[in-house]
Structure 1
């Protein structure tokens, strides 16, 4: 019994190390990519929207790619994902290719990142042996958030000291990201050697939309809208209108991650204590508040009726941080799916299908968002997102108050 417990603890430690280092690597690449586009290529808001096509297309393709790799275990798929991510971000670290070539490597890196997303959750949930799913998932997300904060601190120091730069030939921040992903690849090999029975869920392309999952898919569609609007155009207000560089966004990410270290584990406990229904209401209302207020601020900044220094900017920073909290509540969707799943083998394929749906919506919103920004102004993007987030409220009202995930 003691040996079994020791082995489980060791496996958990390796998995925690994998998600921690993955978050660190993403902090050196994904979290600063908008600044890279602006400083290295000086793109417009319309071009920023277009770039999301090669960045989000892998999210649509991932369900087919994982199906092709059906003979692979989830951990082996995670290994392939890391190799692609290393190639994509590593090349951009060593050279600044022409815009079109850069998009190819952005696609490769994004493909790896998106392949890792569903298997990361699948592997994590397969290692949970107790009833407190919310608490354990909260711990996973808490570790990720902690290392996101560490990455943001390093990014801030690196750009302030001049060690990191997007205008030099060598982008050390991307090279370091690739090295860390290489370590993750090694740890995945270690994890595979520790687990006696391979973690392998169904990889068939499953387009069966079970009626029971309809609200999960509605949440996924709305997340596609919300993610693209706030993750892409939220920072773009700060970067393009307020001329903020990577070090400023790093400070905001540090604060957001620090708060998230306590907030995300707390969300996991709240799910266990209060149930998913109440948390879905909180999630919906937070998005509506953030988008509506951010739209008002961006309108003021764009029209010069609000000062681009002082309290208005601090308020925008605060909303940016609050949105970090909102986007980190995504585990609610995953846990909701697990609570309603007809069978366990449905979870991974449904997560992959959900990821594809979310990215189809994201690609569309990114393109339309760039057009709306260019023709009418940034505020209308956020007002539209606030209006659409009413769907989240409707879903929350329709979901049963299921306490099956509540801890005993």
Structure 2
């Protein structure tokens, strides 16, 4: 490990720390936000879907926000994104405002998070040489996973000993998360001093709809459906139906992250070894199986035909963990885009537009998911996601392996 650190450039080392602390901050804020909604505001499944509008709207607007800041470097914009996240989550740490005011702070925090999403990948790739991009991106995700696991450990300990609570006046977990994001801001400042303002991608709102990118956009739209259904309503099965608290979800996060420490870097190596086409197939199949099984379990839990203890509960935990690993395979989409990019300047605006498309779908699915849950039951949300994931298989079949091999 020490030898690897010695061989790593200083700017890449700084960026690894940025990735690490960002994951830690998100693990103490965004990853526990569903429990915050339940404990502090006692919301229903339908209200849970409605909350996703202010949380996901910044993802739609991010392409315009980033474009309006085109005079600044990517690093400067990333610094601004951290400040917004700090304000949004920090405020919720000090007060428990009325529901409507809470949504405003959630929106501010979400704007910061979504501004950073496309920049995180574009900045990271700009620091990588052409050789072994899959391996390096896998390392980025691996570091992120390690610190997500660390966040899970802190969440578990904090809630178990009573230091963290969403029912108290002060939400220390959010205050600590805001403090960690301050560290990320400082690290970006240091990174800028090391590289100057050289990282400055094309941020014009040019809506890059090249035919070469049609399958990438299909993948991100499908991800919008899958993400919203599983990331929002997957935990809600555990929280609302099975009455599991933040410490239980933290344990599952720890286990998933521990496995991911080895799994995610391996995915990066597999991209380099087997190619993107085969990994896209694997990604699609994993989503189909995960959603189908989770739907069956949800049906059993909600109707009372399955026990909420023992093997059924263990299976629900296992599917939850596997899903968390599957969502980390999203880096395959980013590498796929880089491999087919007509111009390097297309990458950031295409990532931003993809993020916007993803979130438009997410907002629609969040609302419809709440309606489906309330009227017919949670299982139908997951069955729908499983069926729609067949589209991912179709895209994988259309990817040209020879084209990708030349571009990576």
TM-score, normalization by structure 2: 0.97
Once the two structures are superposed, the pairs formed by residues 194-233 of structure 1 within 5 Å of their partners are 194-233=194-233
Task: Write out the 4+ residue segments of structure 1 that deviate beyond 3 Å after TM superposition.
Answer: 5-8, 402-408
User: Any idea what the Cα deviations from partners look like across 1:215-237, whole Å, max 9, x if unmatched?
Assistant: 00000000000000000000000
The equivalent of 1:401 in structure 2 is: 401
**Contact kept? 2:208, 2:349, Cα under 8 Å:** no
Matched, 1:129 2:135: no
The equivalent of 2:54 in structure 1 is: 54
The equivalent of 1:97 in structure 2 is: 97
Once the two structures are superposed, the pairs formed by residues 236-275 of structure 1 within 5 Å of their partners are 236-275=236-275
Matched, 1:28 2:36: no
Matched, 1:15 2:21: no
Matched, 1:375 2:357: no
Q: 1:159, CA displacement in angstroms?
A: 0.2
Matched, 1:298 2:307: no
Q: Tell me the secondary structure at the aligned position of residue 401 of structure 2.
A: coil
Q: Tell me the secondary structure at the aligned position of residue 72 of structure 2.
A: coil
The equivalent of 1:353 in structure 2 is: 353
Q: 1:197, CA displacement in angstroms?
A: 4.8
**Contact kept? 1:292, 1:382, Cα under 8 Å:** yes
Q: Tell me the secondary structure at the aligned position of residue 280 of structure 2.
A: helix
Matched, 1:82 2:82: yes
Matched, 1:148 2:148: yes
The equivalent of 1:177 in structure 2 is: 177
Q: Tell me the secondary structure at the aligned position of residue 209 of structure 1.
A: coil
The equivalent of 1:109 in structure 2 is: 109
Q: Output the CA distance in 2 between the equivalents of 1:180 and 1:258.
A: 21
Q: 1:404, CA displacement in angstroms?
A: 4.6
Gaps (5+ residues) in structure 2? none
Q: Output the CA distance in 2 between the equivalents of 1:323 and 1:407.
A: 30
Gaps (5+ residues) in structure 1? none
Q: Output the CA distance in 2 between the equivalents of 1:302 and 1:338.
A: 43
Q: Tell me the secondary structure at the aligned position of residue 9 of structure 2.
A: helix
**Contact kept? 2:340, 2:404, Cα under 8 Å:** no
Number of residues of Structure 1 aligned to a counterpart in Structure 2: 404
Q: CA RMSD in A?
A: 1.5
**Contact kept? 2:340, 2:407, Cα under 8 Å:** no
**Contact kept? 1:62, 1:115, Cα under 8 Å:** yes
Q: Output the CA distance in 2 between the equivalents of 1:285 and 1:215.
A: 17
Q: Output the CA distance in 2 between the equivalents of 1:347 and 1:403.
A: 17
Q: Tell me the secondary structure at the aligned position of residue 169 of structure 2.
A: coil
Q: Tell me the secondary structure at the aligned position of residue 326 of structure 2.
A: helix
TM-score, normalization by structure 1: 0.97
The equivalent of 1:63 in structure 2 is: 63
Q: 1:206, CA displacement in angstroms?
A: 1.6
Once the two structures are superposed, the pairs formed by residues 326-341 of structure 1 within 5 Å of their partners are 326-341=326-341
Q: Which moved more, 1:393-402 or 1:174-183?
A: 393-402
Q: Output the CA distance in 2 between the equivalents of 1:314 and 1:403.
A: 43
Q: 1:7, CA displacement in angstroms?
A: 10
